[in-house]
Amino acid sequence: MVLDVDDWTARRAVHTDRVEQLIGPYLQARRTGARHPVLDFLFTYYSSRPSHIRRWHPGFGVVLTGPDADTAGFLRTRGYRRTDPGAADAGVTVDPAFLASRSRALATTAALLSATAGRAPRLGCFGLHEWAMVYHADETRHDLPLRLGAAGTDAVVESMPLRCTHFDAFRFFTDDARPRNELNLTPADRLRRDQPGCLHATMDLYRACFTLTPLLDASLTLDAFELARDARDLDMRASPYDLRNLGYEPVPVETSAGRARYVREQSALTERGTRLRAEILHRITQLTAAVPDPPAH
């Protein structure tokens, strides 16, 4: 696909507007050093940066044409090269050599997403992983009050089974909480246990996209970010923390009504994640097929 300068700059402007609508006020506050216990997670835990979603990329296989002044920014970004200057559609594009260098990352990502997609969603965890992270703890992970206090929080953990399937959440459980989980998870369980009902597996779709930049187009990465933001929203509203002063009404999973609400919202996020996971896998399949053959010796 070849995009002239008017076309791709218009697409870039649409992308910029969408980012502003999603998290514009948050990014403005972040520049002043303000912290946000819900949204910061998407940039700290994932070692991401706002530039990962703010910068527009067309994806592999697209040539951007136009004056050098307009396309120069892409050449200062990893993974791009100029096309043949003598060609009628001369411009910049993602370098096939860069695609080849990311073939292992493509295979690893595809393996995890395929394994996750192949399992039935489990919707009975009720977000108790956040509770297990402060069970019998002297300090909490966030500078926020606990809705039920320390004793009340511990009582909730003791009253319900822990069914976490996601190692990257399980590894933050307190020492006293880990034996309560139905699974003693290890790093190898990322591939063996991740399942589409897990909020963290859904949020991980954002990592899958931004780590493959600029091979995937920016709109797909932003779709994954928006879904991760919404999953993180439920993650924290169902947590033991009190975030009402930030505008987050709790989902009280310590009650039957709260658990029912959690499952309803979790199910909706799972459906969105299933569709997005399938699309990412489709794009990875296309990219893998486009990896150039190694040079003959």
Give the residue carrying structure tokens 């310590």.
Answer: 254
pLDDT value at residue 69? 63
Divide the 297 residues of the chain into consecutive groups of 10 and give the mean pLDDT of each group.
91 95 91 89 87 92 84 88 75 94 96 96 95 92 90 97 96 96 94 96 96 96 97 96 94 97 97 98 96 72
Residues 6+ apart with CB under 8 A from 124: 163, 263
| CA pair distance 288, 291, nearest whole angstrom | 5
pLDDT value at residue 231? 97
pLDDT value at residue 295? 65
pLDDT value at residue 34? 87
Instruction: Tell whether pTM > 0.85.
Output: yes
Question: Which residues on adjacent β-strands are paired with residue 81?
Answer: 93
pLDDT value at residue 84? 76
Give the residue carrying structure tokens 């940066």.
Answer: 49
Instruction: Give the other-Cβ count within 10 Å of 38's Cβ.
Output: 20
pLDDT value at residue 86? 66
Going from the C-alpha of 77 to that of each of 11, 148, 213, the distances in angstroms are 18, 48, 10
Residue 61 phi, psi dihedral angles, 5° rounding? 90, 5
The amino acid sitting at 190 is R
pLDDT value at residue 139? 82
pLDDT value at residue 68? 74
pLDDT value at residue 133? 96
| CA pair distance 44, 52, nearest whole angstrom | 13
SS3 264: helix
